[in-house]
Amino acid sequence: MNEWLLIGLMATVTFIPRYLPFALAGKVRMSPTLARGLDFVPIAVLTAIIAQASLIRGGDLHLGLDNYHALAALTSFLAALIWRRLFVSIVVGLGCFVILRLLTIAASV
Amino acid sequence: MSSKHRSRQFWLGVLETVPLVVAAFPFGVVFGALAQSHGMDFLVTLGMSAIVFAGASQFIAITLLASATAIPVIVATVFVVNLRQMLYSANLMQHAGNWPQPTRVLLAFFLTDETFAAVTDRVNRHPGEAGLRWFYLGSALFMYSFWQISTVVGFSLGRRFPGLADWGLDVAMIVAFVGIVTPMLRARADWVCAAVAFAASILTYEWPHQTGLLFSSIVAICVGLLLNTGGPST
């Protein structure tokens, strides 16, 4: 029973931040400064997630050529700079990751 | 707008979320397996995925539950973890202005990192395109369905392939986010904002409950804003 209470409360505190700005859209006038700041949200948040997901592996900072997630991210970044196509960045990044994995397996056999 | 156009936008939303769903799937499986190993009831586990629908919050809740943390503490932690979603919602406000309230409630419930990334990428590549809410709905329902499926798979099979989390499938999320963010880097302020977010999130990775992510994002947004003051909004 306590678990369902927890789920209900979690659902509430999860929904409020997701909904509040939507609820106010079109009803409040946003200052131009705030609006310009919000334009940076995708760059700021997604980059922070990328950095942690690629460099923090297993709970620790993992720098080195054996961090394939970071190498895939770097390759994908270069591909994105050159071609500016999401699909290409994904394929190149994943390709890099798979090749590195296969090479590691081949080297250990 | 014709129903054909709506349907097209919906399926585009599904299609463009594929790499993110692939990346999220193992997280759902791990969540299901973890819940099962902590002795949680199947219905409670699925209920959490279906009613809360927020990956990081669910992991934290389960971990805290296992250590017998008091419910108010868990709820407060989950609230802090989800403040990031408020930034997403605020960023999308400009599009939500002409959505009816029931649509806003529905789409807000489905707001995740994955759907925000897909939607913001769509807006970036096709500014002013009609039918964004249908694209959003396609992305969201696809993500939602797979989150439920992955939870069930994890709960019932988790122990039979415990290595799934080590396959590194989260690389799909990383490369997709890189592919989404990179073309957005145009002005100098954009690059500096990204650099600050990158560095700050590494410096703060040990902060509890993803507060480092939130803090780094806010600092990066402020730096970006300071640099482009007076300039045209991009």
Separation between Cα atoms, residue B88 and residue A18, nearest integer Å: 8
Is the pLDDT reported for residue A18 higher than 80?
Answer: yes
Put simply, the answer to whether A89 touches B178 (Cβ < 8 Å) is yes
Nearest to B203 by CA among B224, B220, B182: B220
Per-residue burial over B169-208, b = 16 or more CB atoms within 10 Å of its CB, e = otherwise: bbbbbbbbbbbbbbbbbeeebbebbbebbbbbbbebbeee
The backbone torsions φ and ψ at residue A60, rounded to the nearest 5 degrees and listed phi first, read -130, 155
User: Cβ of A102 under 8 Å from any chain B Cβ?
Assistant: no
Interface confidence (ipTM) of the complex: 0.94
Nearest to B136 by CA among B168, B170, B110: B110
For position A74, what pLDDT does the model report? Answer: 97
Cα radius of gyration rounded to whole Å, chain A: 21
Find the CB nearest B51 among A7, A50, A76. Answer: A7
Q: Would you tell me which residues 56-95 of chain A have a C-beta closer than 8 angstroms to some C-beta of chain B?
A: 56, 61, 68-69, 72-73, 76-77, 79-81, 84-90, 92-94
User: Cβ of B187 under 8 Å from any chain A Cβ?
Assistant: no
Bridge partners (DSSP) of residue B116 are none
Q: Would you tell me which residues 79-108 of chain B have a C-beta closer than 8 angstroms to some C-beta of chain A?
A: 79, 82-99, 101, 104-105, 107-108
Find the CB nearest B90 among A38, A52, A97. Answer: A38
Chain A: residue whose CA lies nearest to B223: A37
Burial of B168 (0-12, 13-18, 19+ CB in 10 A): middle
pLDDT tens for each residue of A60-78: 999 999 999 999 999 999 9
- To 5 degrees, how large is the angle CA B195–CA B200–CA B203? 130
* Spatial contact of B155 and B50, defined as CB atoms under 8 Å apart: no
At residue B170, what is the residue type?
Answer: D
User: Cβ of B19 under 8 Å from any chain A Cβ?
Assistant: yes
Cα A75 to chain centroid, rounded: 16
Can you tell me the mean pLDDT for A93-106? Answer: 93
Chain A: residue whose CA lies nearest to B55: A14
Q: How far apart are the first and last CA of chain B?
A: 28
Residue pLDDT tens, chain B, 234 long: 789 999 999 999 999 999 899 888 888 988 998 898 888 999 999 999 999 999 889 998 998 888 888 999 999 999 999 999 999 999 999 999 999 999 999 999 999 999 999 999 999 999 989 999 999 999 999 999 999 999 999 999 866 766 666 677 789 899 999 999 999 999 999 999 999 999 999 999 999 888 999 999 999 999 999 998 655 444
